[in-house]
Amino acid sequence: MICARDAEKLAEAKRAIEAEGHALATYQADIADYAQCDALVAKLAAEHGGVDILINNAGRSIRRAIESSFDRFHDFERTMAINYFGAVRLTMGLLPGMIAKRKGHVINISSIGVLTNAPRFSAYVASKAALEAFGRCASSEFADVGIEFTTINMPLVRTPMIAPTRVYQHVPTLSPEEAAELVVEAIVTRPARIATRLGVFGQVLHALAPRVAQIIMNTAFRMFPDSAAARHQPEGEAQAPSPDMIALSNLMRGIHF
């Protein structure tokens, strides 16, 4: 079962999956809309008896420096609406069914930015950090009733969501297929967390040497430009990355800048 806002993309996904010989149920809903979220939960319960595995993948990313966001508090509200409140409302709607069956698995797609404290993504990283905290607390509450929680600190993935940032055309990213393999790994092995070595290293560095980590991330912040949209300017040609930018992006593969 998959859910999305765009009916055409849902239909396209249904055709592709059924062409591989699999059955698929699709639901059009915006989980940031509480009424639509609740209606989705009711449909899933009525038509399928709930779900066994929930993958909270829907999300909004905003790449904008804080100094460019003083008049854009709504950026923070929009990211929290779907990345945190929508995901939590859907999860809480489906948890009673999992409790009744004494089995279930919730997979929260988070970001490598939560581990590395990526600059320029304060709204996005904060919303994902909130979702991670909810999952950690919930995992402690439901450990004895057969419900498990997994967080995936996903690196940068080449999808339409990152297309507006032209400089990302020149930095190494995961393919959608590679990202899907991480989700499959979560479903099969059910770990508490899946993260890349670089993400874990970033988390350890911030814990042991926070000033050093801040200097590294600030250097990257100043090296990579804001997008034209973030600067409220018309889109132009993609900026050709400097050798330093290429070197840094390859060293820190998958981190958002």
Active site residues: 124
Ordered alpha helix ranges (H), the chain: 7-19, 34-48, 73-79, 87-101, 112-116, 122-142, 176-189, 197-208, 210-223, 243-251
Nearest-angstrom CA–CA distance, 251 and 172: 10
Q: Is 110 in a helix, a strand, or coil? A: strand
Ordered alpha helix ranges (H), 81-175: 87-101, 112-116, 122-142
Alpha carbon separation from 132 to 98, 153, 214, 222 (Å, rounded): 20, 9, 22, 28
Q: Output DSSP code: residue 174.
A: B
What residue type is assigned to position 224 of the chain? F
Nearest-angstrom CA–CA distance, 62 and 125: 9
Query: DSSP per residue over 53-79, as a string?
Result: EEEE---------GGG-TT-HHHHHHH
Q: Which residues of 21-59 are buried (b: 16+ CB within 10 A; e: fewer)?
A: eeeeeeeebbbbbeebbeebbeebeeeeebbebbbbbbb
